[in-house]
């Protein structure tokens, strides 16, 4: 029997246990993904912290507080707005705005935990592949901790605002002539060959521990939430949602189990194919969508994520780029705003309402994963401007 407040790594396939000092995140016996497990202490919160570390006993109970590398991430706002409710067809729709985190996306919640763990293990270099937000976050937290970050960027596939964050925070940028999936394969290659680079992609199970707090906060605030929708790319966040729900249930904080609605873009929907086709294995695809943060064809966390969809009785939905941009416009015009990938959550809920799978009186929360300034190309294409003379003519007409 492990003592209270202990943590270990466990293979999701064969259950093999490993010490948390291990830096490889696949099982030696069966190549299954590893997850963090804890014996939870009596107290589930840490009163002197807010945000992510408020839940320290549920995410890294034994970590010395002095080791924490934090920018005060978490405790983001939960919005409601009549016009977005009307757009989605759900009268009490709530939006959890993760774009309000320090580097502008939910990635900060996982990064504060993973980089704290990197420091605990004495790492001096971090590495990740990224569609943009992971690298922005990894670069910031690595700099804060005084270690170097290396980011593998699929050339031409990352929005300039995200890339400029990584550059500004001092990351070493490594160009990958291809897509995110190729960059991710290269990170796996680095991991096989060297222990010197601490991996900050969501295959690192500490990322998932931090990201659980998005869903802890939603469940705390919305006692009767029936659906939680989120965009799905590499599937770390879908995995985090399920783990958070299971653990809140296990320690008796909730009775009902919210259903996870995992939303993919049509042009990057291998997880939808897996779920809808009841396939045994995920078949990678070549990814193409305007929503660059979910432009991923071979998601590393699919085995965790499908388990969580099934556990919560949830669904995987796919939406077109048009539907994503329509939802983004509704969210933007409400004065809230988000990046394109984030709007997939609202687009997915709207689709399920139209299909009669969600009732307008059901309670639902949509996670807005990233800030409006993260990916502005679609906004600029859309902008109609008027010359000053036209404006004056209107004024004097
Ligand atoms: C990373 C990211 C996603 C996808 O999350 P996964 O955990 O990879 O499924 C969605 N939206 C934004 C804005 C992101 O940065
Ligand atoms: Zn195993």
What does the alpha-carbon distance between residue 378 and residue 337 come to, in Å, rounded to a whole number?
A: 13
Helix (DSSP H) and strand (DSSP E) numbers for the chain: 14, 13
Residue 249 alpha carbon to ligand 1 centre in Å:
25
**pLDDT tens for each residue of the chain, 397 residues long:** 467 889 999 999 999 999 999 988 999 999 999 999 999 999 999 999 999 999 999 999 999 999 999 999 999 999 999 999 999 999 999 999 999 999 999 999 999 999 999 999 999 999 999 999 999 999 999 999 999 999 999 988 899 999 999 999 999 999 999 999 999 999 999 988 888 899 999 999 999 999 999 999 999 999 889 999 999 999 999 999 999 999 999 999 999 999 999 999 999 999 999 999 989 999 999 999 999 999 999 999 999 999 999 999 999 999 999 999 999 999 999 999 999 999 999 999 999 999 999 999 999 999 999 999 999 988 888 777 889 999 999 988 8
* Each residue's pLDDT tens digit, 377-396: 888 887 778 899 999 999 88
CATH class of 78-102+205-380: alpha beta
Query: What interhelical angle do 107-120 and 133-145 show, nearest 10?
Result: 40
Q: How far is the CA of 54 from the centre of ligand 1 (A)?
A: 23
Distance 233 CA to ligand 1 centre (A): 6
Nearest to 331 by CA among 168, 106, 95: 95
pLDDT at position 371: 98
Chain segment 340-376, per-residue pLDDT in tens: 999 999 999 999 999 999 999 999 999 999 999 999 9
List, as ranges, residues with CB under 5 A of the ion ligand 2. Answer: 11, 13-14, 16, 27, 29-30, 32
pTM for the model stands at 0.97
Q: Which residue has the tokens 């259903």?
A: 259
Task: Dump the DSSP string for 220-261.
Answer: HH-TT--EEEEE-SSSHHHHHHHHHHHHHHHTTS-SS-PEEE
CB distance 75 to 51 below 8 Å = yes
CA–centroid distance, 389 to ligand 1, in Å, is 43
Pocket of ligand 1 (CB under 6 A): 105, 107, 133, 202, 231-238, 293-294, 339, 341-342, 369-370
How far, in Å, CA of 26 to CA of 97, rounded? 32
């Amino acid at each position: 029997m492990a003592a209270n407040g202990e943590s270990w790594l466990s293979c999701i396939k064969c259950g093999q246990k490993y010490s948390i000092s291990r830096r490889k995140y696949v099982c030696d016996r069966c190549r299954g993904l590893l997850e963090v497990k804890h014996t939870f202490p009596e107290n589930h919160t840490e009163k002197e912290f807010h945000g992510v570390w408020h839940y320290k006993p549920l995410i890294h109970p034994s970590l010395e507080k002095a080791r924490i590398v934090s920018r005060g991430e978490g405790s983001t706002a939960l919005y409601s707005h009549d016009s977005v409710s009307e757009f989605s067809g759900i009268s009490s729709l709530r939006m959890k705005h993760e774009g309000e985190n320090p580097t502008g996306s939910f990635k900060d919640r996982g990064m504060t935990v993973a980089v704290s763990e990197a420091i605990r293990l004495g790492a001096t270099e971090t590495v990740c592949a990224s569609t943009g937000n992971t690298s922005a976050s990894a670069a910031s937290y690595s700099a804060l901790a005084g270690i170097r970050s290396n980011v593998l960027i699929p050339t031409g596939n990352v929005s300039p605002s995200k890339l400029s964050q990584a550059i500004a925070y001092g990351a070493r940028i490594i160009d990958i002539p291809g897509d995110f999936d190729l960059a991710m394969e290269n990170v796996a290659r680095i991991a096989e060959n060297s222990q010197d680079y601490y991996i900050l992609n969501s295959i690192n199970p500490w990322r998932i521990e931090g990201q659980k707090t998005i869903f802890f906060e939603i469940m705390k605030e919305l006692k009767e939430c029936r659906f939680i929708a989120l965009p799905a790319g590499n599937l770390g966040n879908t995995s985090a949602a399920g783990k958070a729900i299971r653990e809140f249930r296990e320690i008796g904080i909730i009775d009902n189990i919210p259903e996870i609605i995992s939303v993919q873009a049509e042009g990057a929907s291998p997880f939808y194919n897996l779920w809808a086709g009841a396939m045994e294995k995920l078949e990678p695809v070549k990814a193409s969508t305007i929503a660059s943060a979910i432009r991923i064809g071979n998601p590393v966390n699919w085995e965790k994520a499908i388990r969580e969809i099934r556990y919560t009785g949830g669904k995987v939905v796919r939406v077109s780029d048009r539907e994503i941009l329509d939802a983004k416009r509704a969210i933007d015009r409400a004065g809230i705003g988000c990046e394109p990938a984030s709007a997939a959550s609202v687009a997915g809920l709207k689709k399920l309402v139209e299909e009669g799978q969600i009732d307008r009186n059901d309670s639902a929360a949509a996670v807005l994963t990233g800030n409006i300034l993260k990916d502005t190309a679609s906004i600029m294409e859309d902008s109609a401007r008027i010359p000053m003379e036209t404006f004056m003519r209107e004024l004097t007409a």
